[in-house]
Amino acid sequence: MWTRNTPGRTRWIVLGAAALWMLLGAGVGELPMARAAHLTGTFEVDEFFRFLHKFGFQKTEKHSQKDTEWDTFGYIYGNITSSVNFTVPVTLAVLDKRSFLEYYANRNDYDRDVACQRMFEKLDKIVYSRACNPHAEADYLRRIPCEPGKLCVDEDTQENVVPGSQFTFVISDPNVPRFWYVSMVACYQNVSTCQWHHYDYRKYHPEPPAINYDITLVNGNPNRQTLSFFNPLLFHFSFDQQNTLEMYLIFFVVYLLMVPLQIYAVRLQKHPVTRLFTVSLVLEFVSVCLLLTHTVRYAMNGVGDEKLAIMGDIFDIFSRTSFMLILLLLAKGWAVTRLQISVSSWILLMVIWIPYCAIHVLLYIWNRTEVDIISDIDEYQTWPGWLVLACRSTMMLWFLWELRTTMKYEHSSQKLDFLLHFGASSLVWFIYLPIVAIIAVNVSPLWRYKLLLGITNSADCLAYCVMMGLLWPNRAGQYLLLTGTNFAGMDELDEFNEAPHIVHRDSDTLHSSNGDLAIDDYLDNEDDEIETLVLSTDDLLHTGSSYAVGSGSGSGGGSKPLSLHNGSALNGGIGKGGRSFD
């Protein structure tokens, strides 16, 4: 029977979940790579427009001086060349958000000439141009490609260019950190008329010419990496992602201590609950290791290993969903008041939990492929994000319902106290994410990513620590049925625990002496008084083999009446007279 094969059932559940994870992970393997701080690639002019990167530059300190130890400017530098001679150059644009949004919105006009004119209509009034606007101060544009081995035509001073580069933008904002947007567009400005036009390669080339670019974006002066203000942990990172390396290092150290301790605990206490929790904890540790490796490489070269980052995010999703499964199982009373769960309960649990895992992964895929990087929304401000939050809230309500049902039929005060504290702490874990997601809507995008990352990882780490303490071998025996899995008659005991189990006795003659029950002859007492003796599954299990549980050959109906027979009472005796009672 299924209800008597808990380890085998758990094994199949784990294998099924693993298969689902592998299938979902295979689809995620084709996701596009995220933006790096070191950009390399090729831009073909028939593409017309290419967005390259969105990068957050830190606030410039008021005492900053270029090329000194006090330099806190942002820098964009690199090389842009082509093997084909362009009749007229196209444009590289580095714009702040205010200037970029309208420029970006006008790129889709069917008439490319009109698109170019609309894109640069307002920029012409503020952007420096030697021929058309020599009095402007905003240095946002470069004409590309540059001649190999030489500076770009808009760079007139060698000292202002990072050595080994053809162009350099210096970003300064003394007020607040800010996002800047880098893009290329096949538009050129006629220096005679100051009008913008589309570079139609068909007029000049048989094939669309390609432009090769190698661009780096950094916070801090690349020429002063050995001075006191240079911080390698911040150099390549966009402002919204700074300090994430230190965050992952902290969690790596914490999990590095927790995982060996939990492996030691599961070797002492072999039970499906502890095994599932160990799997969840190991998945989280693997996730942190992968993300830390990617982040360290990113700090070194501005690129990192995006495949490791994707794998780390997927393992993190699997860890959280498996941890949720553990909470639901404990709420249903598994290993607390019973050692088995009915077939229908398992099917219902899997029917709800597996789609929840799939939705979570689909949200991740959506966030990487469909959410425009230009926008300032996060994953929980899209309809898939709302769906995940709604599903999590539904799971929380189901968790509370199952916990209430379990507590309703449990009569051990020790276990009720455990269930109460377990429910309160689990409820905090369930509810924190919707609350944080709502708060994050009102947080600046420059701080939002770090806020969500820090709170979610901290909450998960704390939840793992609490669960690890609850399941620790020398504590779990106080309120969990974790000492074994082969209990004869557990089906009957489960039904017995959930049904009114009443045994009548004489209140005047039933008393405890030296830990033994003594039952006097109630027939000799004229004022017989009947009371109720309530026994829980916990009471039954802790008496070893003191009880004889009647069972019939049928597997359907309820359990047989419980009888305490002559000579097999609690702690060795039923009392004088050897009477039995039903």
**Residue 63 and residue 162 share a domain:** yes
Both 114 and 170 in a single domain?
yes
**Does a structural domain hold residue 2?**
no
Q: Residue 68's pLDDT band (boundaries 50, 70, 90)?
A: low
Total tally of structural domains belonging to the chain: 2
> What's the rounded mean pLDDT across residues 433-462?
92
pLDDT, tens digit (0-9, with 9 covering 90-100), for 205-215:
889 999 999 99
The answer, yes or no, to whether residue 522 has pLDDT greater than 50, is: no
Same domain, 278 and 192: no
Q: Which of 219, 235, 266 delimits the end of a domain?
A: 219
Given 477, 505, 530, which residue is the final one in a domain?
477
On whether both 344 and 415 belong to a single domain, the answer is yes
Strand partners, 74: 171, 219
Residue type, 213: Y
Most confident residue range from 8-22, 218-232, 482-496: 218-232
Domain annotation covers residue 189: yes
Q: 213 with 298, same domain?
A: no
Return the number of other C-beta atoms located less than 10 Å from residue 368's C-beta: 17
Q: Which of 418, 449, 477 represents a domain boundary (last residue)? A: 477
Same domain, 449 and 403: yes
Do residues 265 and 188 share a domain?
no
- Calculate the alpha carbon distances from 499 to 319, 409, 410, 479, 559 in Å: 36, 8, 10, 21, 10
Res. 382 pLDDT band, cuts 50 70 90? confident
Q: Specify whether 258 is located in the same domain as 114.
A: no
pLDDT of residue 372: 78
What is the model's pLDDT at position 225? 58
What span, in angstroms and rounded, lies between the C-alpha atoms of 184 and 212? 11
* DSSP 8-class letter at 162: -
Q: What is the domain extent for residue 449?
A: 243-477
Span 484-499, average pLDDT: 43
Q: What is the mean pLDDT of residues 392-413?
A: 88
CATH of the domain at 281: 1.20.1070
H helices within 269-331, ranges in order?
272-301, 306-331
> Which residues, in sequence order, are CB contacts of 548 under 8 Å at separation 6+?
563, 564, 565, 568
* Position 418 in a domain: yes
Q: How far apart are CA 14 and CA 313, in angstroms?
A: 20
Q: Across residues 333-347, what is the average pLDDT?
A: 78
Same domain (yes/no): 48, 196: yes
Domain membership of residue 529 (yes or no) is: no
Q: Are residues 403 and 360 in the same domain?
A: yes
pLDDT value of residue 506:
40
Question: pLDDT over 70 for what percent of the chain?
Answer: 72
Q: What is each CA distance from 498 to 68, 175, 235, in whole angstroms?
A: 76, 66, 62
Which of these ranges, 2-6, 47-51, 413-417, has the smallest mean pLDDT?
Answer: 2-6
Residues 256 and 202 in one domain: no
> Would strands 178-185 and 141-144 be described as parallel, antiparallel, or unpaired?
unpaired
148 and 263 fall within a common domain: no
Would you say residue 460 has pLDDT above 90?
A: yes
Please compute the mean of the pLDDT values over residues 411-434 and round it to a whole number.
87
- pLDDT at residue 254 is higher than 90: yes
Q: Answer yes or no: are the C-beta atoms of 91 and 119 closer than 8 Å.
A: no
Structural tokens at position 264: 């030691």
Cite the beta strand spans of 59-209 per DSSP E: 74-81, 90-96, 141-144, 167-171, 178-185, 187-189, 196-198
CA–CA distance, 174 with 199 (Å, rounded to integer): 37
The 10 Å Cβ neighbour count of residue 220 is 21
Give domain status of residue 51, yes or no.
yes
Interatomic CA distance for residues 110 and 119, integer angstroms: 13
Residue 201 domain flag: yes
Residue 76 lies in a domain: yes
Higher per-residue confidence, 64 vs 187: 187
Residue 369: inside a domain: yes
